Amino acid sequence: MLSSNSLRNFSQHSSRVFIHLRPQKKPILSLALSTAAEEMDSQSPCILVLSGKSSAEIEIAKSLKSSNTLKLPANGEVRIFVHPEIPRPPSEDSFQIDLFLKSLLTNQFGRLFIWSPRLPSTHDVVSHNFCELPIGAVCAADVQSKGRGRSKNVWESPIGCLLFSFTIQMDDGKIVPLLQYVISLAITEAIKEICDQNGLPYLDVRIKWPNDLYLNGLKVGGILCTSTYKSKKFNVSAGIGLNVDNEKPTVCLNAVLRELSIASYKFTREDILAAFFNKFENLYNLFIYQGFQALEELYYKTWLHSGQRVIVQEKNEERVVENVVSIQGLTPSGYLLAVGEDNQMCELHPDGNSFDFFKGLVRRNL
């Protein structure tokens, strides 16, 4: 599924048959960015502040600074600092690196940390510098001016959103497409854990297959995974956008929490990012050593689709035939497993034409 040396979005597939679901509300974050912002970015250098959990990662940060190897696409100008050096006083909205590093308890993921007050895309930093960075390195930004969504959509990335990308390396290409499900689950589990630890009511953040996060029927986040194949390894850049604290235009975690609880607690990006990596490292190890089956039960509890009935329209020359199928789970390759009214099992693939994956699915009988 992944071609050699080409950067591919996990979720692009070809088209034939259509499925209609009830209409989905519009995703909140994928809106056009202003060209003024892009122009501003092309003139000012991009600031990257490097830091590390332990002295080993701090040494890597220093050597990345002295070798000046980190690059942006189109040779955008970069200025590198090593934390706690700072280019200018941080604003009160700035990501607090020390809070994040203090709560991070991992052995590998998140330990080399790159923060920027504003950059085009964290995904670009990670994917363009993949081979220079240790596995598990993360880049987070307060604001992105050219955030990337899946299928070449732009991803609006204002202040208040958690915006980050990190590196993963995998040997087995067959399971690479399942990685985005492990990441989705690590986000929802991290939010649950923070609720638990702070005596808060649960926020019902759910996974909309394949890689959206929904809260109260609205998109609150999304996951983008791209990969290249090099020296027999799959180099995966995983990017996550999650609306933590920006009420515009629709939904964010803190607004929903305020409706549910009188407590003054607010989710912070630093806590969520650390909790994410703490969860992800455990789930990822289970996934690698025991397979996705070890996570399936939890995944099906968290996604929106068990038993969901969808209408498949198959175009047979002149006629359009409609069939209802009911979603049962995932197939081993990560597509939707469904059963028809005739008890025929089938696999549903997105057709790659529609922003809403459920609006175009190809059916393949099993």
224 near ligand BTN, judged by CB under 6 A: yes
The only residue of 144, 188, 226, 278 in contact with ligand BTN, by rule CB under 6 A? 144
Is 163 a residue that touches ligand BTN (CB under 6 A)? yes
Residue from 222, 334, 350, 360 binding ligand BTN (CB under 6 A): 222
DSSP code, position 148: B
Query: Mind giving me the DSSP string for 74-134?
Result: GG--EEEEETT--SSPPPTTS--HHHHHHH---SSTT-EEEEEEEES-HHHHHHHTGGGSP
Q: Interface with ligand BTN includes 155 (CB under 6 A)?
A: yes
- From the list 126, 146, 142, 124, the residue with the least C-alpha distance to 134 is 126
**Minimum gap (Å) between residue 214 Cβ and ligand BTN:** 11
Q: Which residue is nearest to ligand BTN (CB)?
A: 222
Q: Is 117 in the site for ligand BTN (CB under 6 A)?
A: no
- Does 122 bind ligand BTN (CB under 6 A)? Our answer is yes
Selected from 121, 127, 184, 268, the binder of ligand BTN by CB under 6 A is 121
Report the residue number, 52 or 221, with the smaller CB distance to ligand BTN.
221
Integer-rounded Cα Rg, in Å, for the chain is 21
Please report whether residue 160 would count as binding ligand BTN according to CB under 6 A. no
Is position 350 an interface residue for ligand BTN (rule: CB under 6 A)? Answer: no
CB atoms within 10 A of CB 40: 12
Considering only 53, 150, 269, 363, the residue that binds ligand BTN (CB under 6 A) is: 150
Q: Which two tokens stand for residue 209?
A: 């297959």
Neighbours of 59 (CB within 10 A): 11
- The residue among 209 and 363 lying less far from ligand BTN, judged by its C-beta, is 209
Binding mask 298-327 for ligand BTN (x = CB under 6 A): ------------------------------
Region 234-273 residues binding ligand BTN, contact defined as CB under 6 A: 239-241
Task: Report the DSSP beta bridge partners of residue 138.
Answer: 113, 166
Q: Which listed residue (52, 149, 177, 350) binds ligand BTN by CB under 6 A? A: 149
Give the 3-state DSSP-derived string for 263-330, with helices as H, strands as E and coil as C.
CCCCCCHHHHHHHHHHHHHHHHHHHHHHCCHHHHHHHHHHECCCCCEEEEEEEECCEEEEEEEEEEEE
Q: Which two tokens stand for residue 45?
A: 């250098």
Q: Quick check: helix, strand or coil at residue 38?
A: helix
Name the site residues for ligand BTN (rule: CB under 6 A): 30, 121-123, 144, 147-150, 153, 155, 157, 163-165, 212, 222-224, 239-241
